[in-house]
Structure 1
């Protein structure tokens, strides 16, 4: 999902059958919304969710939302999901339980046909494989380089279940690292969190885990509750010290050169060497601080409000 605009930091799952949650989705502060047709929708409600999906995409697209649809994992399911989902405003399709590049290629081929049929720009809908099994770790390079892939994402709960263990940071950190490295090597984004997504009442733990993933190079994280959104956004926002450092670096670099005399390859700032890679990082910090307007006043990452079952996502 890389491009001229900053990639999303927080991607919030919303069951595509929950009208009440979808009505308020654009107010949750997430950088992207994942309209879920897989685990979030009971089997008995999937057809209803598909029927309602086009109207939800149209409305949320008009609100300026970055929209992703998570389909079923098997072709017999995702083909029906794509029929409902592919339309103007859809940015990506998330393929769950992605284990090999062939599955992604089959999905990409189906998208080719639907884009042509519906008059969409070729390649306008990208694919995000969701890594949920240990076996998928050994296919990461192929998944990251498969057709249309714009990001890799990590399904921590299913991954831990496949191992038969609890989704603790000790279990999840290494897979996160592998996913981030594979994504970076192939120029795509990565969405990982070395923490159970079921943690709803400890926003500080989500911030800590998101900062740990960010330090490894992750682009952002998946969320299942608005309280997690605020925590992830806080973890990925540069703090005042980061911004001040970036301004010193870029200011010193600009001052070291003129139109007639380019800046040298290396300068010194705060007793440290600054070369092209460090300058690039400083510019990225400033871009992330200024290039991502908030959709609504951000709430501090406090404990999530619990008013009923419909508010647990």
Structure 2
């Protein structure tokens, strides 16, 4: 562990200083684009205004014989577009793959000045973050970049989940983490082929009552892991995210999974299909009625202390903090979404 004095020092001479506070940005959905597909790259200019983050995917779902084309396509996509307030991310290949090093060596010099975040798959411990941290600092210095590129870790192995707190504390370059349920399920030996969501066999039964059947209540397979990730991230000032939901034909289940994650503290989720963009926008933007009630609490307790009764419910210092979370998020959403800004009346 680095000493406090050296923690925020650049890791290479000439590299930009790490952020001491994460940039404030709206990231309700991280929308994945396969950059080796020309017709998908052609949709990016229109996509930029519809999503919070555009991510060029180089890893899973990209065939081995298309990895180099995906890398070149991402560089082209990044160079040809002005992303404005919309984040530009890439998910590189995992550290033990034959493509990772070229991903970093080619992308950072070419478009590192536009790149906000590198998503690193299958992170198992702080050593993975340390390696990429040092490499990025060297390349940033060489390329003359003035702004550090952040790292977003995907939790998709049992060892990664076990080491989640050490991963969160590994570097000031850390942006946040996402849950990767499919690879994590395989790593844990879980008996499911679903990508996110619940499972009908993961359930609890109602009590047995003579003469009537028992009802099964499906449970959330990912509750424990999401909670552990959220605690680790928020302890270190990072951003937690739910990852992919693979069944594009079941928007209700997708919305339910997103909503569970939102309520537990996640700030956004991945969108792998266009129909998931509006779902994420809906779920990860606070409900207008919740915002209105939260504003009542803040208005009634300007200094955040004491206790008041609002609509028959007691509000105190703790609920003031809850209300501030909701209103702060609503203000951030309002900066990008004019329609919701009017509804929120902020």
TM-score (norm 2): 0.76
Q: State how far apart, in whole Å, the 2-side matches of 1:182 and 1:244 are.
A: 30
User: CA 1:160–1:297 in 2, change beyond 3 Å: closer, same or farther?
Assistant: farther
Aligned to 2:260: 212
Considering only CA atoms, is the larger Rg found in Structure 1 or Structure 2?
A: 2
CA distance in 2 between partners of 1:88 and 1:61 (Å): 12
Where does residue 80 of structure 2 map in the other structure?
59
Q: Which runs of 5+ in 2 are unaligned?
A: 1-18, 199-219, 341-346
User: More displaced, 45-54 or 177-186?
Assistant: 45-54
In proportion to residue count, which structure has more helix?
1
Higher RCO (C-alpha 8 Å, min separation 6): 1
Query: Is 2:178 the partner of 1:137?
Result: no
Q: Distance in 1 between matches of 2:82 and 2:62?
A: 21
Whole-angstrom CA distance in 1 between matches of 2:135 and 2:232: 25
TM-score normalised per structure 1: 0.83
Question: What is the CA deviation profile of residues 78-136 of structure 1, one whole-angstrom value per residue up to 9, with x for unaligned ones?
Answer: 221012322211001111111111111101111001111111125x2011111111221
Q: Which of 127, 141, 148 pairs up with 2:151?
A: 127
Measure how far apart 1:230 and its partner are.
1.2
| Matches of 2:323 and 2:276, distance apart in 1 | 27
Shift in CA distance, 45/297, structure 1 to aligned 2, threshold 3 Å: farther
13-22 or 112-121, which deviates more:
13-22
Whole-angstrom CA distance in 2 between matches of 1:54 and 1:284: 36
- Which stretch has the larger CA shift, 174-183 or 108-117? 174-183
Counterpart among 18, 26, 35 of residue 56 in structure 2: 35
Q: Give the equivalent residue in structure 2 for 1:272.
A: 314
Partner of 1:81: 103
After TM superposition, list the pairs within 5 Å mapping 1:192-231 onto structure 2.
192=242, 197-231=245-279
**1:184 is matched with which residue?**
234
Task: Write out per-residue CA displacement over residues 149-174 of structure 1, whole angstroms, 9 at most, x where no aligned residue.
Answer: 11011111111223242144333222
The answer (yes or no) to whether the contact 2:285–2:330 under 8 Å persists in 1 is yes
Question: Gaps spanning 5+ residues in structure 1: where?
Answer: 255-262, 299-313
Instruction: Name the CA shift for 1:27/1:272 in 2 (closer, same or farther; >3 Å).
Output: farther
Deviation for aligned residue 1:63: 4.8
Q: Write the mapping of 1:10-21 to structure 2, written as runs, cut at 5 A.
A: 10-21=29-40
Structure 1 residues 160, 296: closer, same or farther in 2, change over 3 A? farther
CA RMSD, Structure 1 to Structure 2 (Å): 2.4
- The one of 235, 244, 251 equivalent to 2:292 is 244
**Kindly tell me: are residues 278 and 47 of structure 1, through their superposed partners in 2, closer, same or farther at Cα, counting changes over 3 Å?**
same
C-alpha distance 113-61 of structure 1, shift in aligned 2 (>3 A) = farther
Shift of the 295–264 alpha-carbon distance from structure 1 to 2, 3 Å rule, reads closer
Which stretch of structure 1 is more off in the superposition, 126-135 or 36-45? 36-45
Call closer, same or farther: CA 1:264–1:251 in 2, change over 3 Å.
closer
2:68 to 42, 47, 61: 47
Q: Could you tell me how far 1:55 is from its partner in structure 2?
A: 2.3
State the Cα distance separating 1:295 from its structure 2 match: 6.8
Structure 1 partner of 2:204? none
